[in-house]
């Protein structure tokens, strides 16, 4: 019988979390609706299940007998995907609703929900020199359309399932997770992977012109996958049920990130800015005051180090397809 359920285990973060938990000796049930061949990691020895967790019956089967649930299942991607698929993103609310109902009925001990910085009110993110977002800045609510509202609604359900039914829910608000093994092409990739791909192709092909969405002055913070896994475990196992930021407070503009990747790759590129492309909010950063107070936690991997690891992995994937100089 599995001890821990990871919903969305076929995804980037879910796969990394599952690998860490299995390495520590935990028995896992890993569930995702994607075919196994499309999972980021498939772990031998885990109970790997293909099922659609938008369906209540699938959720009941998934939680049977487990003590801890990590709910990371969601239809999402980078800014291009989120802005073009608001309804699909909203439909993930079915997964959150049915997972919570099933967990309550089964008597699950802990329920972790992966929320997002997209829950924060848009009017607090209009300047690239943004004031870092505190947890209370999610209200009055004006979340990012589609994906952000789904996350905020499910956060509220987690709160009320804790208050009304005694289900020990825990919520982390992820801020832009990236790293090796993540999506780097196809439309769902986020900025670090997309830019690393473009710089790697420039290095491989010699065609040193890249497209940047927007003017490049929009700012974000980015968290390396290892820190995300470590922080998620800490929050899931901790005593606090209210949402907490899980991210880096190292703010960077898109143009600055390109410069870091140029330095890593040893190339200089010409930048062409597409001002019509999706850009999201102008600035977003994580205020880590609360997570430091609660857990004494800060990310351990700097943006420069994380980008280097990510770039090297993406370069290697592309180099297998594209011989240098062709």
* Catalytic sites, residue numbers: 147
Distance CA(192)–CA(295), nearest Å, equals 27
Where is 87: in which H helix or E strand?
helix 86-90
DSSP-derived secondary structure for 32-43: ESS-GGG-S---
Q: Are 158 and 99 in contact (CB under 8 A)?
A: no
What six digits make up the tokens of 204? 């491989």
Q: What φ, ψ does residue 253 adopt, rounded to 5°?
A: -85, 165
Q: For residue 299, give the nearest of 256, 243, 238, 250 by alpha carbon.
A: 250
Distance CA(36)–CA(48), nearest Å, equals 8
From residue 293, how far is each of 214, 235, 261 by CA, in Å?
36, 13, 33
């Amino acid at each position: 019988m599995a001890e821990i359920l990871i919903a969305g285990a076929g995804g980037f973060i879910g796969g990394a979390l599952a690998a860490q938990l299995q390495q520590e000796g935990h028995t896992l049930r890993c569930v995702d609706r994607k075919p196994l061949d499309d999972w980021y990691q498939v772990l031998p020895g885990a109970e790997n299940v293909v099922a659609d967790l938008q369906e209540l019956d699938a959720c009941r089967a998934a939680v049977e007998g487990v003590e801890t649930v990590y709910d990371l299942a969601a239809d999402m991607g980078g800014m291009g995907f989120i802005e073009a698929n608001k309804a699909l993103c909203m439909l993930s609310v079915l997964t959150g609703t049915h997972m919570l109902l099933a967990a309550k009925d089964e008597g699950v001990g802990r329920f972790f929900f992966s929320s997002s910085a997209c829950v924060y009110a848009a009017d607090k993110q209009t300047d690239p020199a943004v004031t870092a977002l505190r947890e209370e800045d999610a209200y009055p609510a004006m979340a990012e359309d589609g994906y952000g509202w789904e996350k905020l609604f499910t956060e509220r359900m987690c709160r009320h399932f804790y208050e009304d039914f005694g289900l020990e829910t825990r919520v982390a608000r992820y801020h832009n997770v990236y790293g090796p093994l993540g999506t780097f092409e196809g439309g769902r990739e986020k900025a670090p992977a997309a830019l690393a791909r473009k710089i790697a192709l420039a290095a491989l092909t010699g065609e040193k012109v890249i497209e940047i969405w927007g003017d490049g002055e929009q700012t974000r913070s980015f968290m390396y996958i290892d820190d995300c896994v470590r922080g998620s475990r800490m929050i899931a196992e901790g005593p606090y049920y209210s949402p907490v930021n899980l991210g880096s407070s190292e703010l960077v503009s898109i143009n600055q990130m390109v410069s870091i990747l140029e330095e890593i790759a040893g190339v200089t590129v010409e930048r062409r800015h597409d001002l019509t492309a999706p850009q999201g909010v102008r600035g977003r950063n994580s205020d880590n005051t609360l997570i430091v107070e609660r857990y004494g936690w800060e990310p351990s991997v700097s943006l420069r180090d994380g980008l280097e690891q990510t770039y090297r992995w993406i370069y290697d994937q592309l180099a297998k397809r594209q011989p240098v100089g062709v």
